Amino acid sequence: MERGTYISASGGMNQLRKLDVVNNNLANVNTPGFKKELLVGSVHTFDQTLASMVASKDPYAKGDHERTPGAVHAHSVTDFSLGPIKDTGNELDLALRNPKDFFVINTPSGPRYTRAGNFTLNSEGQISTLDGMQVAGDGGAITITGAPLAISPNGSVTSKGILVGKLQVVHFDDPKVLEREGSSRFTLPAGKPPPVPVEPDVIPRSLEMSNVSAITSMIDLIAASKGFEMYTKTAQTIDGMNQSAIGQVGRRPS
């Protein structure tokens, strides 16, 4: 591919990916515990190119940044900064103070981690997520036997004045090792160090909301849209120039 076309196509693809990321952030601006995604880019390394596969046979193989300067590799990362805390008055709504702490959710696929504390009770009276997954306690499921229900800042749960369990909370020194699963749930990839159980520090009757700024995201959306349009027009202009140049090849001078 001609160098200019490759660079403009690369830039256009990055802007298109950014549009997807920003749109998803905006769609979850009101989702409790949602963590926004950020798009980051880096110049292609040599081992990410086709040239690396034939380097042993081709002494002239060059790194991508040398062959096509400006071509970048983009990927998304999660911003785990703390979102705003909203007082709801609901006894089953909980927010975590430390941005590196997570609730543990028991799922058929294994433990999952979340900052979304908008819990409810399932058909068996156990504290669960809205989709029915069991919220882990330090001794297993936490079953509510009746009102009144109260959850203290240290995660202790009482039902009818009797202690029935304590929420399990874990800490990740680097939450970026987590992989996103759905809107506000995360999983720990195999081979990564397990989280450390910690003493819960929760804000009762409150929720941590999404850390997405609607205003900033709208600005990013407009910028990405304009950027994609610019790169598209650039690629079309270069293609037109190439076609014109090809048409001149072999033509007799008048």
What are the 10-residue block averages of pLDDT along the chain, 254 residues in total? 57 74 93 92 52 53 53 78 96 97 96 97 95 94 92 96 96 96 94 95 97 91 74 64 64 60
Q: Which residues contact 60 (CB under 8 A, 6 or more apart)?
A: none
Which pLDDT score, from 0 to 100, does residue 252 have? 61
What's the Cα-to-Cα distance from 120 to each of 113, 206, 250, rounded to whole Å?
A: 17, 13, 76
pLDDT of residue 250: 55
- Model-level pTM? 0.77
Predicted confidence at residue 39, as pLDDT, reads: 81
Q: Tell the residue number behind the tokens 């990916």, with chain if given.
A: 17
Give residue 57's pLDDT. Answer: 55
- For tokens 């900033």, the residue is 216
The neighbour count for residue 34, using CB atoms within 10 Å, is 25
CA 178-49-74 angle, to 5 degrees, is 40
The confidence score (pLDDT) of residue 46 equals 46
Domain ranges of the chain: 3-81+212-248, 87-208
